[in-house]
Amino acid sequence: MTIERLETATRMSRIVKHNGTIYLCGQVCKDANQGITEQASSMLEKVDALLEQAGSDREHILSATIYIKDMQYFAEMNAVWDAWVPEGHAPARACVEAKMARDVLLVEISVVAAEKV
């Protein structure tokens, strides 16, 4: 069983593929000076791009863990999430309040997906 690591740096790989499963490192927005809606949308756009690069898509997401800076943003983030997840393809999901690596970040996501066959 081969482990394939894509975009690997000293600290982490952006994508790890093993046995038909794709693991994405935590993704944040492109511009942290925006509000929660824009940060969540931008973050999910990055997930789409990485999944495509890895040979998958949002219909094949198995699980997602969302880290949110403050639960006051929960409803707004969920509105973006609900519009993004294809109907009938909701993954297992957890959402927790967490201290972020940078104070301006409001949301981060970690995703596990299956490769498209």
Active-site residue (options: 6, 32, 85, 95)? 95
- Looking at the DSSP bridge assignments, the partners of residue 64 are 93, 111
Nearest-angstrom CA–CA distance, 26 and 17: 15
Spell out the domains of the chain, with CATH numbers in brackets.
4-114 (3.30.1330.40)
Determine which helix (DSSP H) or strand (DSSP E) holds 79, and give its type and residue range. Answer: helix 74-84
Nearest-angstrom CA–CA distance, 12 and 61: 21
Nearest-angstrom CA–CA distance, 60 and 32: 28
Known catalytic membership, residue 29: no
pLDDT, one tens digit for every residue, the chain (117 residues): 799 999 999 999 999 999 999 999 999 999 999 999 999 999 999 999 999 999 999 999 999 999 999 999 999 999 999 999 999 999 999 999 999 999 999 999 999 999 998
Cβ-contact 65, 109 below 8 angstroms = yes
